[in-house]
Chains A and B, each alone.
Chain A
Amino acid sequence: MELKTLTYLVVGASFALYIGIAIWSRAATTGDFYVAGKHVPPLANGMATAADWMSAASFISMAGLIAFLGYDGSVYLMGWTGGYVLLALLLAPYLRKFGKFTVPEFIGERYDSRAARIVAVICLIVISFTYVAGQMRGVGIVFSRFLEVPIGLGLVFGMGIVFVYAVLGGMKGVTYTQIAQYCVLICAYTVPAVFIALQITGMPIPQIAFGSTVQGDSVHLLQKLDQVVTALGFPAYTSGTKSTLDVFCITAALMIGTAGLPHVIVRFFTVPKVRDARYSAGWALLFIGLLYLTAPAVGSMARLNLTETIQTGAVGAETANLAYEDRPSWFRTWEATGLLEFDDKNGDGRIQYYNDQNPEFATTAQTFGWNGNELRVDPDIMVLANPEIASLPQWVIALVAAGGIAAALSTAAGLLLVISAAVSHDLLKGVFMPHISERKELLAGRISAGIAIVIAGLLGYYPPAFVAQVVAFAFGLAAASLFPPILLGIFSKRINKQGAIAGMITGLVFTYGYIEYFKGLFLRWAGSPWSEDVAENWLLGVSPEGIGAIGVVLNFAVAITVSHMTAAPPAKVQALVDHIRYPR
């Protein structure tokens, strides 16, 4: 069967499955719509959380990023998993005991302040929309590459599917579809990884193959990779180029940001008991770990495969570089997407792929008659092209397409749901129309989910120029604004609303300002970015990606200082803190 037909079949079958689940699990009450009636068993919730969490970025981009960053890529691996430890130990059980529907609702009640609730809603909506735009973009890329439909049409399909199960089923529908999506995406990720590990090392388990010797050779995979890339002037794979402090701060910002992301936190509202929330976080990280432990193995093998495909023999030997006309078929298909580019700078008809930013090696390269690096590879293609590079059967390629879409849709649905809950529950019921009936609130939730989907689709179709920057922004913001007030709200009875609001605003303004200053987000017209984004200009040598870590510290410091200068919170708030601390 032709690849395109096969892909249509596999992706179509997965869509039919999601719709079927949506019809089976319609939401009848606001409890169903916001928190799946609190009936989700911990293991199932762990699986749904994993799908909710693992986005198009985790599935499509992460292994590719690690492939080109080497050791520096560890910040994503540790940052996006370590946050679950914070979540499990410091937040999830207590928020479950609190027993309401949304994160702003907790902040509003704990600080006995409508203003705090509104600040939290604003943070939540900004974080969620920046995040969802990236998911929709991922759906578009997969559709245009594998189903060969225009991105716009692909987006309409994706939005349609999410619309059906998020609007009909609410959290209940989303939870059960996410479980199905997890199964699809984890198979799609591990099957090609096993094949490739087998080809390169003869060892089928990728995590072990990662530390094994290369087939037909006595050197280990990582040693070999270090040799191959340093011979071309790149930094060694197993040692980084970022400063230790910066790696430290980026990892911390991603960890704390993960623990502060509302669409992840709200998943722990759906389990029946406090003890389920604790175990559920463990299951979630186990299921996430299956992918995150595979990703670095995939990254290293993809880098080795790519480099050896281009540089077929000794560096500098004339025939050791792949001739352009002999390029494999996957090279041609990805060239068509513009994500892989070749520019024959020295006109010899062969591909030279090396680090021309390394002055020492660039001089050596000139003696070979090389005239600059000729290959540009977008890291995003590494996972998607992997099955083709390793010449795996066509059903594997079709499966990867379905997996990429599952990863993007599951995250998008989770995000859209917290946006709609923030609008219908926090703004409408909490602030503007406290006496709204449950039936009307449910309808409002459905309508706001629908509107959010359309906005998300538009953001995917007209991506803001700063999609790459917004990841740093979303995590920095979640870390610097939402995490501290939730944590302090549970572990301190002394923190009051003045402290919490002052802390949130300080964290928010500082983190946003720093990123705007170096990266430019919204104030392009006012001349932003105002400074070149290089290490010499950074505050204490911390990059905009890691600045959230400093924002967290500032938020804590301000919240604690201001609280101690103002009156202690009222007795009913202190009683609330006692209530959430004890499971019974």
Chain B
Amino acid sequence: MAEQNAKDRYWRANLRLVAYCLAVWFTVSFGCGIVFAGPLNQIRFFGFELGFWFAQQGSILCFIGLIFFYAWRMNRIDREHDVEED
């Protein structure tokens, strides 16, 4: 029973991390790059309009950072819950 609880805690921690990461994923691409691209384009970001920059550069950079963050954090959660591979 105790083991089952530990496993549930691990799985919930995993789901929470995934949910946070997907929220960022959705915000930078569908949010900044598409739905709010119009208003964001009023802001100049170096030589870019900000919404356009998110759609063609920023979102991709965030995606890369996001996956590495997830991998690092998830591997730590594995260790904390003692489920990591040998």
Contacts and interface: CB of A to CB of B under 8 A. Distances in A.
Interface of A: 66, 71, 73-74, 77-78, 81-82, 84-86, 88-90, 93, 207, 210-213, 220-223, 238-239, 244, 247-248, 251-252, 255, 273-275, 278-279, 281-282, 285-286, 289, 292-293, 296, 578, 581-584
Contact of B47 (A93, A222, A281): A222
A77 B56 contact: yes
A278 B14 CA distance: 13
Interface string B37-72: 100010001111100110111011101101110110
A222 B55 contact: no
Nearest to B52: A238
* The 4 residue pairs across chains A and B that have the minimum distance between CB atoms: A211-B47, A220-B47, A74-B55, A278-B71
Give the one of B14, B41, B64 with max A CB within 10 A.
B64
B13 interface: no
Given A238-B49, A583-B85, A244 B70 contact: no
Given A211-B48, A248-B35, A282-B67, A583 B78 contact: yes
A575 to B, nearest CB: 13
Contacts of A239: 41, 52
Given A248-B35, A296-B57, A583-B78, 4 more contacts: A81-B60, A82-B29, A244-B35, A278-B70
A581 B78 CA distance: 11
Contacts of A207: 57
Nearest to B46: A211
A169 B69 CA distance: 34
Nearest to B45: A211
A482 B82 CA distance: 32
B8 to A, nearest CB: 10
A89 B68 CA distance: 11
A289 B58 CA distance: 11
A478 to B, nearest CB: 19
A292 B37 CA distance: 20
Contact of B57 (A210, A252, A279): A210
A222 B68 contact: no
B33 A78 contact: yes
B85 A211 contact: no
A82 B49 contact: no
Contacts of A281: 67, 71
B47 A221 contact: yes
Given A220-B47, A584-B84, A584-B85, A279 B30 contact: no
A247 B60 contact: no
Give the one of A78, A88, A252, A582 with max B CB within 10 A.
A78
A244 B66 CA distance: 25
Contacts of B14: 581
Contact of A82 (B7, B25, B78, B85): B25
Given A78-B55, A212-B47, A222-B49, A282 B7 contact: no
Give the one of B18, B71, B86 with max A CB within 10 A.
B71
Contact of B55 (A71, A221, A274, A286): A71
B33 to A, nearest CB: 6
Contact of B59 (A82, A247, A248): A82
Contacts of B48: 210-211, 220, 222
Contacts, number: 130
A290 B34 CA distance: 22
Nearest to B66: A85
Contacts of A582: 7, 10, 83
A292 B55 CA distance: 12
Contacts of A578: 7
Give the one of B21, B61, B66 with max A CB within 10 A.
B66
A282 B21 contact: no
A285 B61 CA distance: 9
A571 B66 CA distance: 35
Nearest to B71: A278
A175 B34 CA distance: 36
Contacts of B25: 82, 85-86
A296 B71 CA distance: 28
A286 B64 contact: yes
Contact of A88 (B7, B46, B47, B71): B71
A347 to B, nearest CB: 40
Contacts of A285: 63-64, 67
A94 to B, nearest CB: 10
Given A88-B70, A581-B11, A582-B7, A275 B85 contact: yes
Nearest to B36: A244
A491 to B, nearest CB: 8
A207 B46 CA distance: 12
A292 to B, nearest CB: 6
Contacts of B46: 211
A74 B56 contact: yes
A249 to B, nearest CB: 10
Interface string B17-33: 01001100100011001
Contacts of B78: 275, 583
Contacts of B52: 71, 74, 222, 238-239
Contact of B30 (A223, A248, A293): A248
A78 B10 contact: no
Contact of A282 (B10, B61, B71): B71
A210 B11 CA distance: 43
A470 B70 CA distance: 34
A289 B60 contact: yes
A190 to B, nearest CB: 15
Contacts of B60: 77-78, 81, 289, 292-293
Contacts of A273: 85
